[in-house]
Structure formats: structure tokens, C-alpha cells
Amino acid sequence: DQQVKQNSPSLSVQEGRISILNCDYTNSMFDYFLWYKKYPAEGPTFLISISSIKDKNEDGRFTVFLNKSAKHLSLHIVPSQPGDSAVYFCAASSQGGSEKLVFGKGTKLTVNP
């Protein structure tokens, strides 16, 4: 039973355009959501997070949107750069339980020059 789903295994965009990565979750107990970026041969790196009390969080070129009613979050990257090419993982956790992160399977983003 996959509680965090990233339905697009891959996404290709042109440099300078917007990249939108999507994530759906099923567990209504999740109240904290994160995006990690992973380059080959490296571990995941934290990118941005959002608490369930917010619907948007912005950090430079990266914005995460949360739609609790739809159990959906998205990561927007504007403008996209070739260095953003990586695998992006969506993750979620719930307070009151453990601090374990539940990850999606990832979306491979390719930004073409």
C-alpha cells in the first residue's frame, strides 16, 4: 500500500520554463511534507518542506503547494535550470507517531538547455 505516490516517473522541460512535479498521498494523518532532490551516486538532499497548516511555501526558485482536501502537493521550479536535472522525491511524515519519512518513488526531471 503506497501512501505517497508520484505518478510521473519522468518529466522533461526546457531551460527557463516551469517544472511542475506532483505528489499525492493517501494517509490523512500526514501533516508535514518535504521534497528531496537526488543526484546519481549521492544521497537525497533536502529541498523544501511545508507544514499542513500552510498551503504554500516558497524558497527562491522553488515553491511547494499543498492542497489538503485533494491530498495533493506539487513542487514548482521557476525558472528551470540544467543543474536542476535530478530525481525528486516527495516525502511525508506525521506527528504523534515516529519521525519516519514515507517517500514516493521519485520523478526524474531533465532540464534541456
Partner 1 sequence: DSGVTQTPKHLITATGQRVTLRCSPRSGDLSVYWYQQSLDQGLQFLIQYYNGEERAKGNILERFSAQQFPDLHSELNLSSLELGDSALYFCASSVGTGHNYEQYFGPGTRLTVT
Instruction: State how far the alpha carbon of 22 is from the alpha carbons of 26, 41, 67, 104, 106, in Å.
Output: 14, 24, 11, 10, 10
Residue range at the interface with partner 1 (CB under 8 A); choices 14-22, 31-39, 68-76, 78-86: 31-39
| Structure letter (DSSP) for residue 84 | G
12 touches partner 1 (CB under 8 A): no
Chosen residue from 32, 61, 68, 72 binding partner 1 by CB under 8 A? 32
Distances from the Cα of 70 to the Cαs of 31, 75, 99, in angstroms?
14, 15, 23
Identified binder of partner 1 from the candidate list 42, 60, 69, 83, rule CB under 8 A? 42
CA angle 59, 73, 111 (to 5 degrees): 60
Q: Does 52 bind partner 1 (CB under 8 A)?
A: no
**Does residue 98 bind partner 1 (CB under 8 A)?**
yes
Q: Which residues pair with 110 in a beta bridge?
A: 12
Q: Shortest approach of partner 1 to residue 107 CB, angstroms?
A: 11
| Nine cell digits for residue 70 | 485533494
Residues near partner 1 (CB under 8 A): 4, 6, 31-32, 36, 41-46, 49, 51, 89, 91, 93-95, 97-106
